[in-house]
């Protein structure tokens, strides 16, 4: 598979932690950081300045995963997708926007995360959830399938429910967090 045309620069890394699935190689921007102890498999695209931290699994085997620019997926997180079937012709990919912070040990499964969101440590976001930009899922929360979380909302609990709107400062802090992790990954590179 050839890298896409245009201004994006992708590298094809050959290592045990970055590997193809059925001849589909991950496409990883040259400025992205993939920790040697992370695992990235198959139809995965990782954008500019994003980072994948130790013990994280990004498995694009039965559908695709797209991670935007300036996004950080922290230690021990699991990212996966839903396969196509007669019951669900498209299945569900995992799409993560720009500037997203995914806390340690989070699970994201076949959902859509907008720009500058924060997914707290140990949180789970299930199939076909849509989280609009600048929203926050609290640590340990479980967002059931098919939920729609709007811009500026904070959801907590199991099952997660909206508890309030974020303050302007909290929404700005989401962008700060993403920028901090870009600087940190640069030190690792």
Question: Does 161 reside within a domain?
Answer: yes
Whose tokens are 């140990």? That residue is: 122
Residue percentage of the chain with pLDDT more than 70:
92
Tens digits of per-residue pLDDT, 101-149? 999 999 999 999 999 999 999 999 999 999 999 999 999 999 999 999 9
pLDDT at residue 36 is higher than 80 = yes
Residue range of the domain that includes 151: 10-188
Q: Is residue 174 part of a domain?
A: yes
CATH of the domain at 70: 2.160.10.10
pLDDT classification of 170: cutoffs 50, 70, 90: very high
- Each residue of 53-92: b (16+ CB within 10 Å) or e? beebbbbbbbbbbbbbbbbbbbbbbbbbbbeeeeeeeebb
Tokens of 10: 């992708």
For residue 9, what pLDDT is reported?
Answer: 59
This prediction has a pTM of 0.91
pLDDT value, residue 87? 87
For residue 1, being part of any structural domain is answered with: no
More reliable by pLDDT, 98 or 10: 98
57-66 long-range contacts (CB < 8 A, ≥24 apart) are: 58/26, 60/21, 60/24, 60/26, 60/94, 61/21, 61/22, 62/91, 63/91, 63/92, 63/93, 63/94, 63/110, 64/93, 64/94, 65/93, 65/94, 65/95, 65/96, 66/93, 66/94, 66/95, 66/96
What is the arithmetic mean of pLDDT over 14-19? 74
Average pLDDT for 48-58: 98
Closest CA to 90 of 40, 142, 128, 117: 128
* Residue 14, pLDDT above cutoff 80: no
Please confirm whether the linkage preceding 159 is cis (ω < 30° from 0): yes
Residue 88's pLDDT band, with cuts at 50, 70 and 90, is confident
Residue 21: exposed, middle, or buried by beta-carbon count in 10 A (0-12, 13-18, 19+)?
Answer: middle
Decide if 5 is inside a domain.
no
How many domains are contained in the chain? 1
What's the whole-number mean pLDDT along residues 42-67? 98
pLDDT of residue 42: 97
Whether residue 2 is contained in a domain is answered as no
Residue 22 lies in a domain: yes
């Amino acid at each position: 598979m050839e890298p896409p045309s245009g201004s994006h620069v992708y590298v094809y890394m050959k290592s045990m932690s970055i590997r193809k699935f059925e001849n589909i190689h991950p496409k990883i921007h040259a400025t992205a950081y993939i920790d040697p102890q992370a695992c990235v498999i198959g139809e995965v695209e990782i954008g500019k300045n994003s980072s994948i931290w130790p013990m994280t699994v990004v498995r694009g085997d039965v559908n695709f995963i797209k991670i935007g620019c300036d996004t950080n997926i922290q230690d021990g997180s699991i990212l996966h997708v839903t396969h196509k079937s007669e019951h669900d012709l498209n299945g569900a990919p995992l799409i993560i926007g720009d500037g997203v912070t995914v806390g340690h040990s989070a699970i994201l499964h076949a959902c859509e995360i907008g720009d500058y969101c924060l997914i707290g440590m140990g949180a789970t976001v299930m199939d076909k959830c849509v989280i609009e930009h600048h929203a926050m899922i609290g640590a340990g929360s479980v967002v059931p399938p098919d939920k729609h979380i709007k811009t500026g909302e904070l959801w907590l609990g199991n099952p997660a429910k909206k508890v309030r709107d974020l303050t302007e400062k909290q929404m700005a802090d989401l962008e700060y967090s993403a920028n901090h992790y870009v600087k940190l990954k640069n030190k690792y590179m």
